[in-house]
Amino acid sequence: MEVKKLEINGFRNLNNFSINFGDKKNLIFGVNGSGKTSVIEALFLLGFGKSFLPVNKKELVNFNASGFFVKAEILNKSGENTLTARLEKSFYMQANSEKAVFSQTSHYLYPLFFSSSNYNYYIDYMAYFRKLMDRFIHGVHSLYLHDVLRYNNILKQKNYLLKNLGKSINHSELNSWNTVLAESGCKIVKKRMAFINQLNDMIGEIFRFDLKINYFPALLTTAALSENSIFNDLCLIKNSEINRKRSLLGPQRDRFDIMVSGKKVQLFSSGEKKKYLMMIFAAYIDLFRKERNDYPVFLIDDYDAAMDENNLNFLMDHFSKIQIIATSVAKNEKFGHLFELKKEN
Ligand SMILES: Nc1ncnc2c1ncn2[C@@H]1O[C@H](COP(=O)(O)OP(=O)(O)OP(=O)(O)O)[C@@H](O)[C@H]1O
Ligand SMILES: [Mg+2]
């Protein structure tokens, strides 16, 4: 898939903004505060219905505007399509002028986002990596994020109950939340397990290098995983959860360890960590291609932050087939299409 044209109005510092991208390597360069990350954020919004930053949608509206409008023309294997995201009285998205939810828009545009200056979050904060894996899985199983949202909604209600239990514990209500959590959680854990296996196989196939992700579901046992086994785990932990007033098991606490030659990736230098993460992204791109017979659009913010020439060449060579939309403060002629953003945009 490929973004041919992007139009933005009233979004962050971008007003009456329009850009025609090339089909391969695009670089948006400009001084700090010119709006580079905002362009990437607008593309991410079209794919996922939200920002990659923890902000309320209203905060994305330009200080002097009452709403925003983002529109992209996309070419993918189903032809040319238009996606729009608007915030007027409320937020809504459209695919070819029909209202759409994010599981439909990511069918047309799947933005694969890598922040080259904040990549260490994926390594240092498990919640970030878990979200990244969830977005990856969503790219190849379009209903997966609905499962995750459903699970999170149920979990919220269970946690509410645990906080408010006080002296009169409603065991039957807790049991019924655990029943639906077990059913919904089982789907998530099974999909995560299968996906991590596929991703590890792809890493091995492409790089023939000892890099793998170990997945540890936050359950008492995963030997014979089923809705029943998860429900039994939740029963075993029930008293501790009541005492601690919160949920202690389930996909929201799953762990993923990135291992390089048997060592945790945390032990490597920041440039090495970036390269290993890039390898994971590269393997994902090939997996995406295998599953969807298409490529995602690769968004790389501050692509050259802390990257030496070798890593940069790796990036350029390895991602030669897909559309890249990268940003940097510096111009680089290695990109076929260069766009300069000025501060007043
Ligand atoms: N809602 C908003 N309305 C208007 N301007 C905003 C809004 N939100 C953020 N900005 C401003 O938009 C500008 C562009 O921010 P952005 O993060 O896109 O810049 P950038 O080009 O990526 O900069 P850097 O090189 O520092 O990463 C900043 O000056 C920021 O303060
Ligand atoms: Mg930026």
CB atoms within 10 A of CB 2: 18
- What pLDDT does 166 receive? 63
Region 106-130 average pLDDT: 91
First to last CA, the chain: 27
What is the C-alpha separation between 233 and 228, in angstroms, rounded? 9
Q: Sign of torsion, CA 100 104 109 113?
A: positive
Residue 44: φ, ψ to 5°? -60, -45
Residue 106 token pair: 């990511």
**pLDDT tens digit string along 28-66?**
999 999 999 999 999 999 999 999 998 999 999 999 999
Higher per-residue confidence, 129 vs 223: 129
Contact indicator for 44, 105 with CB cutoff of 8 Å: no
* Ligand 1 binding site (Cβ under 6 Å of any ligand atom): 12-13, 30, 32-38, 59, 61-63, 329
What is the C-alpha separation between 114 and 99, in angstroms, rounded? 28
Most ligand 1 atoms within 8 A of CB, residue of 11, 27, 34, 63 to mutate: 34
- What pLDDT does 316 receive? 77
Per residue in 71-81, is it b (16+ CB within 10 Å) or e — as a string? bbbbbbeeeeb
Per residue in 90-106, is it b (16+ CB within 10 Å) or e — as a string? ebebbbeeeebebbbbb
Contact indicator for 295, 1 with CB cutoff of 8 Å: yes
Per residue in 225-264, is it b (16+ CB within 10 Å) or e — as a string? bebebbbbbbeebbeebeeeeebebbbbebebebebeeee
**pLDDT tens digit string along 220-253?**
987 789 999 999 999 999 999 999 999 999 999 9
What is the C-alpha separation between 134 and 129, in angstroms, rounded? 9
Ligand having the closest approach to the CA of 61: 1
Q: In the predicted model, what is the mean pLDDT of the chain?
A: 93
Region 79-97 average pLDDT: 96
Ligand having the closest approach to the CA of 63: 1
- What pLDDT does 23 receive? 95
**CATH class for the region spanning 1-110+296-345:** alpha beta
Please spell the DSSP secondary structure of 67-121, one letter per residue: -EEEEEEEEETTEEEEEEEEESSSEEEEETTEEE-HHHHHHH--EEEEETTTTHH
Beta-strand (E) ranges in 119-234? 211-216
Region 100-106 average pLDDT: 87
Number of alpha helices (DSSP H) and beta strands (DSSP E) in the chain: 10, 14
What is the C-alpha separation between 101 and 260, in angstroms, rounded? 38
Task: State the distance from the centre of ligand 2 to the C-alpha of 182, rounded, in angstroms.
Answer: 41
The contacts of residue 265 (CB under 8 Å, 6+ apart) are: 123, 258, 259, 273, 276
Asked if residue 110 has pLDDT above 60, the reply is: yes
Beta-ladder partners of 81 = 74
Percentage of the chain beyond pLDDT 70 is: 99
Domain 123-292 listed as CATH 1.20.1050.90: yes
Amino acid at 130: R
Determine which residue's CA is closest to atom 31 belonging to ligand 1.
33
Asked if residue 137 has pLDDT above 90, the reply is: yes
Residue 47 token pair: 């794919």
pLDDT band at 103 (very low <50, low <70, confident <90, very high): confident
What is the C-alpha separation between 313 and 292, in angstroms, rounded? 27
pLDDT band at 299 (very low <50, low <70, confident <90, very high): very high
Asked if residue 345 has pLDDT above 60, the reply is: no
**pLDDT tens digit string along 180-189?**
999 999 999 9
pLDDT band at 304 (very low <50, low <70, confident <90, very high): confident
Q: Where are the domains of the chain?
A: 1-110+296-345, 123-292
Please spell the DSSP secondary structure of 159-214, one letter per residue: HHHHHT-TTS--HHHHHHHHHHHHHHHHHHHHHHHHHHHHHHHHHHHHH-SSEEEE
- What pLDDT does 165 receive? 63
Asked if residue 164 has pLDDT above 90, the reply is: no
Q: Could you tell me if residue 214 is left (phi over 0), alpha (psi between -120 and 50 degrees) or otherwise beta? A: beta
What is the C-alpha separation between 34 and 30, in angstroms, rounded? 6
What is the C-alpha separation between 50 and 19, in angstroms, rounded? 21
Most ligand 1 atoms within 8 A of CB, residue of 6, 13, 327 to mutate: 13
- What pLDDT does 138 receive? 95
